[in-house]
Every structure is written in C-alpha cells, then in structure tokens.
C-alpha cells in the first residue's frame, strides 16, 4: 500500500514539474528561424556569386578556375571570421543559414582547433582540426569512391 501511495505522489510531482517546465520554457519561433536561415544563407550565396564575378571579370579566369577560386575565397573568409569570433555570432542569429554553405564547413574545421590551441599546435590545433569535419570528409570521399566504382562497373557492362 505504501509503495502505491509513493508512486501516486511521484507521478503527481512529475506531472506538476512537466507543467512548470512547459510554462517557463521559451516557445520556439520556427518561422523566424526559417526566414533568418533563408536570408543569411541567401546572402552568403550572393556574396559567393559576387566573388565569382570578380574572379571571372576582373582576373579573367575561366568558369572552372573562377569556381575553384571562389570556393577557396569563401573558405578563407569563413575561417577568418571564425578566428575573429564573428562567424559564431552570425551562427547564433542565422542558424542553419550559416552552416549549410561552404563557409560553415570552414567554421566547423576552425572552431574545434581554436578551442584547443592552448594545448599546443600539434596536440591542440592539429589533433582537433578535423574533429567535426573529419567524419564528413571520410564518408563523403568514401561514398564518392564507391559511386565512381559503381559507375565504372556500369560503363564496363555496357
């Protein structure tokens, strides 16, 4: 009998606690987050197109070279802004809009390395450089090799 009463009190307290948590928890603003992500991601892409136009028109690079130079430039800008602490502030406001473009990739490489730089360049920066991006690179490269191999097999069968 005592155990049953304990369960009732426990369940009642748990229910009250859940109601309290729901009452004080901030409500998510999905629409605002979607709009911020869309606008910031779009602005990063517009910046990329602007940089691409500069490489093409001002420096006379062909499409492939301009695209490569644009990617390198955007990675540099993302890493540089992460080093200054600006990209993290942008990420707090923009959410996925700052993560999806190539600048987010640069941020995912530089951030863990910066957090551990007091441990030294080898064991701190070097060991943590690809902490977040490493699995993405491994599985991305591995799946591209697998897809290329399957494509090659289908060409051989034809």
> Quick one: pLDDT band at residue 16, thresholds 50, 70, 90?
confident
Give the pLDDT confidence score for residue 53 in this predicted structure.
Answer: 97
Other Cβ atoms less than 10 A from the Cβ of 41: the count is: 20
What burial letters (b/e) apply to 48-87, b meaning 16+ CB within 10 Å?
beebbeebbeeeebeeeebeebbeebbbebbbebbeeeeb
Q: Give long-range contacts, CB 8 A cutoff, 24+ apart: 111-116.
A: 111/82, 114/82, 114/83
Q: Is the pLDDT of residue 1 over 60?
A: no
Q: Is the pLDDT of residue 110 over 90?
A: no
For the chain, give the mean pLDDT.
86
Q: Is the pLDDT of residue 19 over 60?
A: yes
> Quick one: pLDDT band at residue 20, thresholds 50, 70, 90?
confident
Give the pLDDT confidence score for residue 56 in this predicted structure.
Answer: 97
Q: Is the pLDDT of residue 150 over 90?
A: yes
Q: Is the pLDDT of residue 11 over 80?
A: no
> Quick one: pLDDT band at residue 111, thresholds 50, 70, 90?
confident
Q: Is the pLDDT of residue 13 over 80?
A: no
Nearest Cα neighbor of 77 from 99, 100, 54, 48 is 48
> Quick one: pLDDT band at residue 73, thresholds 50, 70, 90?
very high
Question: Could you tell me what percent of the chain has a pLDDT over 90?
Answer: 39
User: Mean pLDDT, to the nearest integer, of 61-80?
Assistant: 95
């Amino acid at each position: 009998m005592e155990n049953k009463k304990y369960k009732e009190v426990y369940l009642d307290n748990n229910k009250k606690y859940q109601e309290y948590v729901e009452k004080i928890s901030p409500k998510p603003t999905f629409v605002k987050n979607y709009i911020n992500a869309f606008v910031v991601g779009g602005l990063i892409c517009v910046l990329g197109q602007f940089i691409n136009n500069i490489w093409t028109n001002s420096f006379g690079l062909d499409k492939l070279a301009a695209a490569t130079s644009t990617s390198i430039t955007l990675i540099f800008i993302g890493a540089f802004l992460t080093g200054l602490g600006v990209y993290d502030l942008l990420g707090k406001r923009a959410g996925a809009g700052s993560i999806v473009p190539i600048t987010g990739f640069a941020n995912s490489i530089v951030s863990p390395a910066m957090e551990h730089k007091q441990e030294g360049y080898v064991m701190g920066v070097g060991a943590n450089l690809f902490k977040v991006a490493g699995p993405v690179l491994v599985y991305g490269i591995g799946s591209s090799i697998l897809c290329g191999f399957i494509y090659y097999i289908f060409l051989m069968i034809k």
